[in-house]
Structure formats: structure tokens, C-alpha cells
């Protein structure tokens, strides 16, 4: 099972600390932001302990492509209303992709964005034209994330992602990240994961699925809310999420937990262990509260 979680990336050890955090959780994959997700301030790559992080990954037999990078959410490639936001999206995404190459990671998860005051079709056309201004390095693959459909979010149907992908000049440098909370919130019945995978395969192609965000949801299917819940405590439930980790068709796809902290503590070591064993223990999570 290839499984890990979102981890921190902070002074003094930066990426080396991120890998160490993942190892502490018993993970063999991880995901991080290369800086604060809400601003464009970035530390020089040479200060980020890249060599040490790579060595730690290698020593633990974890390939660098399992260090997944999440693009900052201030990047909104669907925005055609504010020119300064649109320009920032392109410039900053370009910089970020070069940083990812320097770090030696491969997969970058990107939210397709929100169309704000325009409409879905304008949003999709804007995303295509914005992404076509960016050069994705050969070593990097950008994964568009399936979204919940909150507000004016684009990408809550597989068809949206397919339409974007088919308009891209560098199609071979793109793929998809499947978020279980988001797809359930957007209306897909992921309790029948094989049927959802069939639909994904028909519309997008299963070979383009590179990352799974494994989250439970606080809201009912179709609510279009996007509020993550801990594994087994939400409306998706442990059985379905465990079945997703055990599905052979996606065995080679890293599963990344983005579940909330419990009582200011990360729940990832406990959630990973429960998923590996296939046994849910509510008390283990509740005990984190005290
Ligand atoms: Fe995301
Ligand atoms: Fe996600
Ligand atoms: Zn989310």
C-alpha cells in the first residue's frame, strides 16, 4: 500500500523535516507545499535541505516521485476577472514548476480554480489559455484535482477535467489527482469505487490518475461543500476508504491523507495504521483529543 499524508515544510530542516515527519507516521509517500500556500514568499531551494531529503527518501526505499507537491491555492487559473490575479497565476505556477524540478519531485497537484463572476465554460476556456502560457518541464507532471464544486469551482465533473486536458498544448505533461472527499461532495457514489473508476477511465483515462487524496467528508454526497473529515468519522466511512486503498486498479497510485488534526495533533500515524490493518478503531482517534 502506497500511503502517506500532507506534511509540514518548515525551518530549520525544511524538506528533510518533511520526509522525517512522513517516516514518523509510517508513511511511504508524502505531500507538501514548498512554502505558505496563501502567499508567494518562497525560500531559496539551496536552503531547503534538498540533498538531505533525497538521501533520507533513498535510505528508506521511497522513490522521489512519491514526494508530491501541492501548488499553492492562491493560483487561480480560472480567473479572467482580475488581470493581476490571472497574471500572478501564470507567473507563480511557472516558478513553482521549476522549483519542483530542482527539488527532484515529479507530481504537482493543482486546483483547476474558480471562475468567480463569469461562468463554467468561460472558466474552462480561461484555464486552458492560462495553462498554455506555462511550460511544464519534462521531469514534472501537473495533476489537476477533482473538486467538490463549492462556489464557482471548476473540475467537479470528470468531463470538466477532460475538456481542460484536451485543450492543453502539453497534454503529455498533465494528469489528474482524485480527491475522495471532493468527488463524494460533488455527487459521485464512491462507495461503488469500481464504477466510478470505470467512468473516470471512460472520460479521462485511468492511466492519467497519478495521485489519490484519501479523505472522509463531513457532508452528505452531493453537498458540494469540501470539508474533510478523519478516516472513518465521516459520511464516506472506513469501509469505503479502506476498499479504495485495497483496490488493485489503483494499487500503484499514492494515497495521501488530508484529514484534519485532532486536538491540535496530526492523526496520520493512527489513520495509516488502521488503513493498513483494515480495522477501524474510533477510540484511537478520539484519544488524540485529550
Ligand atoms: Fe487540493
Ligand atoms: Fe485534495
Ligand atoms: Zn478539499
219-232 confidence digits (pLDDT tens): 999 999 999 999 99
Nearest to 66 by CA among 38, 25, 39, 27: 27
- Residues with Cβ within 8 Å of residue 69, at least 6 apart in sequence: 31, 32, 33, 34, 96, 100, 103, 105, 107, 108, 109
Neighbours of 113 (CB within 10 A): 27
State the ligand closest to the CA atom of 258. 2
CATH label of the domain that carries residue 126: 3.20.20.150
State the distance from the centre of ligand 2 to the C-alpha of 20, rounded, in angstroms.
Answer: 22
Q: Please, what is the Cα angle at 211 between 72 and 263, to 5 degrees?
A: 65
Quick check: 34 pLDDT over 90? yes
Determine the distance separating the centroid of ligand 2 and the alpha carbon of 213, expressed in angstroms.
5
- For ligand 1, the distance from its centroid to the CA atom of residue 145, given in whole angstroms, is 6
Looking at the predicted structure, is the pLDDT value of residue 27 above 90? yes
Nearest-Å Rg of the Cα atoms of the chain is 18
Ligand nearest to the CA of 257: 2
Model confidence band, residue 83 (pLDDT cutoffs 50, 70, 90): confident
Centre of ligand 1 from the C-alpha of residue 247, in Å = 22
The mean of the pLDDT values for the chain is 97
Q: What pLDDT sits at residue 40?
A: 83
Work out the pLDDT band at 290, boundaries 50, 70, 90: confident
pLDDT surpasses 90 at 85:
no
Name the nearest CA neighbour of 288 among 271, 18, 278.
271
The boundaries of the domain holding residue 173 are 3-289
Closest to 25 measured CA to CA, from 7, 43, 44, 50: 7
CA of 179 to the centre of ligand 2 (A): 5
Nearest-CA neighbor of 194 among 177, 207, 206, 185? 206
Q: What does the alpha-carbon distance between residue 226 and residue 96 come to, in Å, rounded to a whole number?
A: 25
The number of distinct structural domains making up the chain is: 1
- Which residues have CB less than 5 Å away from ligand 2 (the ion)? 179, 213
pLDDT at 169: 98
pLDDT digits (tens, 9 = 90+) for 117-140: 999 999 999 999 999 999 999 999
Residue 288: per-residue pLDDT: 97
Say what the pTM is. 0.97
Digit-coded pLDDT (tens) for 90-107: 999 999 999 999 999 999
User: What pLDDT sits at residue 39?
Assistant: 84
- Per-residue burial over 116-125, b if 16 or more Cβ lie within 10 Å, else e, is bebebebbbb
Amino acid at each position: 500500500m502506497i500511503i502517506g499524508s500532507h506534511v509540514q515544510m518548515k525551518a530549520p530542516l525544511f524538506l528533510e523535516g518533511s520526509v522525517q515527519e512522513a517516516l514518523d507516521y509510517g508513511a511511504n509517500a508524502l505531500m507538501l507545499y514548498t512554502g505558505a500556500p496563501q502567499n508567494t514568499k518562497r525560500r531559496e531551494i539551496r536552503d531547503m535541505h534538498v540533498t538531505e531529503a533525497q538521501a533520507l527518501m533513498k535510505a528508506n526505499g521511497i522513490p522521489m516521485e512519491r514526494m508530491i507537491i501541492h501548488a499553492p491555492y492562491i493560483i487561480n487559473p480560472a480567473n479572467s476577472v482580475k488581470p493581476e490575479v490571472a497574471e500572478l497565476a501564470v507567473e507563480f505556477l511557472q516558478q513553482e514548476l521549476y522549483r519542483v524540478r530542482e527539488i527532484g519531485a515529479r507530481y504537482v497537484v493543482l486546483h483547476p480554480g474558480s471562475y468567480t463572476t463569469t461562468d463554467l465554460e468561460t472558466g474552462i476556456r480561461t484555464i486552458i489559455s492560462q495553462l498554455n502560457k506555462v511550460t511544464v518541464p519534462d521531469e514534472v507532471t501537473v495533476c489537476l484535482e477533482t473538486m467538490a464544486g463549492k462556489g464557482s469551482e471548476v473540475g467537479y465533473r470528470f468531463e470538466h477535467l477532460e475538456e481542460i486536458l484536451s485543450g492543453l498544448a502539453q497534454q503529455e505533461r498533465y494528469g489528474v489527482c482524485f480527491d475522495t472527499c471532493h468527488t463524494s461532495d460533488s455527487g459521485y457514489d464512491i462507495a461503488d469505487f469500481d464504477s466510478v473508476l470505470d467512468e473516470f477511465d471512460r472520460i479521462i483515462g485511468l492511466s492519467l490518475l497519478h495521485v489519490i487524496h484519501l479523505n472522509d467528508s463531513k457532508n452528505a454526497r452531493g453537498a458540494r461543500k469540501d470539508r474533510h473529515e478523519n478516516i472513518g468519522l465521516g459520511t464516506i466511512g472506513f469501509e469505503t476508504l479502506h476498499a479504495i486503498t485495497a483496490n488493485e486498479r489503483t494499487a500503484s497510485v499514492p494515497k495521501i491523507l488530508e484529514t484534519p488534526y485532532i486536538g491540535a495533533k496530526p492523526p496520520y500515524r493512527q489513520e495509516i495504521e488502521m488503513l493498513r490493518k483494515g480495522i477501524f478503531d474510533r477510540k484511537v482517534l478520539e484519544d488524540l483529543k485529550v
